[in-house]
């Protein structure tokens, strides 16, 4: 990785930690108390490992018939990530389109690694586009009501890190480690 990419990853991680600290200080909740670990991190403890298990089972078998395991695996992974973000930021009203995206993702994985039926892409595009439209509309409303300057600054740090990662490399950036 180049130094530029290292800085981008560091900026993204720092912005995410900053957002978590900001969310914790805004509502007074502590995510690290023993009782709250299960209350706030249940998707990461229970839902995500099952989804990862389905993916590992597919990778172990590697056949077209085993590709059916990618549908529930993709649905569980994306649903688990959706629930985890919603639990940490208490954003159930904003994150619900993630469940539409979960079904689209599971079906897309099945299309890519299993049976390439053209008609399988129809629900993928319908559900995926609905999820993107709803996410964008709900995110605009959440950003408009976001009145914390530190939270907004943390979002800009994350966006800056993503831009650094996605920018084309210039001619003078040859420092590989």
Nearest-angstrom CA–CA distance, 15 and 156:
8
Burial (Cβ within 10 Å: 0-12, 13-18, ≥19) of residue 168: exposed
Burial (Cβ within 10 Å: 0-12, 13-18, ≥19) of residue 117: exposed
Token pair 């688990």: residue: 80
Nearest-angstrom CA–CA distance, 109 and 99:
16
C-beta separation of 41 from 84 below 8 A: yes
pLDDT reading at 170 higher than 50: yes
C-beta separation of 120 from 110 below 8 A: yes
Q: What percent of the chain has pLDDT over 70?
A: 74
The answer to whether the pTM exceeds 0.85 is no
pLDDT reading at 101 higher than 80: yes
> pLDDT tens, 104-153?
999 999 999 988 888 999 999 999 999 999 988 887 766 666 555 566 67
Partners of 176 in beta bridges: 2
Polymer length of the chain: 177
């Amino acid at each position: 990785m180049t130094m530029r990419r290292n800085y981008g990853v560091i900026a993204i991680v720092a912005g995410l930690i900053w957002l978590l600290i900001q969310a914790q200080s805004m509502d007074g909740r502590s995510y690290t108390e023993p009782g709250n670990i299960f209350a706030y991190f249940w998707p990461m403890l229970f839902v995500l490992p099952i989804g990862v298990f389905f993916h590992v089972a597919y990778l172990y078998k590697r056949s077209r018939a085993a590709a059916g395991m990618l549908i529930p695996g993709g649905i569980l992974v994306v649903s688990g990530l959706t629930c985890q973000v919603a639990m940490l930021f208490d954003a159930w009203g904003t994150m619900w389109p993630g469940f539409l995206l979960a079904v689209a993702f599971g079906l897309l994985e099945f299309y890519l690694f299993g049976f390439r039926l053209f008609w399988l892409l129809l629900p993928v595009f319908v559900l995926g586009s609905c999820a993107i439209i709803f996410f964008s509309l709900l995110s605009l409303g959440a950003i408009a009501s976001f009145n914390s300057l530190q939270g907004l600054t943390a979002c800009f740090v994350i966006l800056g890190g993503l831009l650094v990662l996605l920018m084309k490399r210039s001619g003078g950036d040859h420092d590989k480690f």
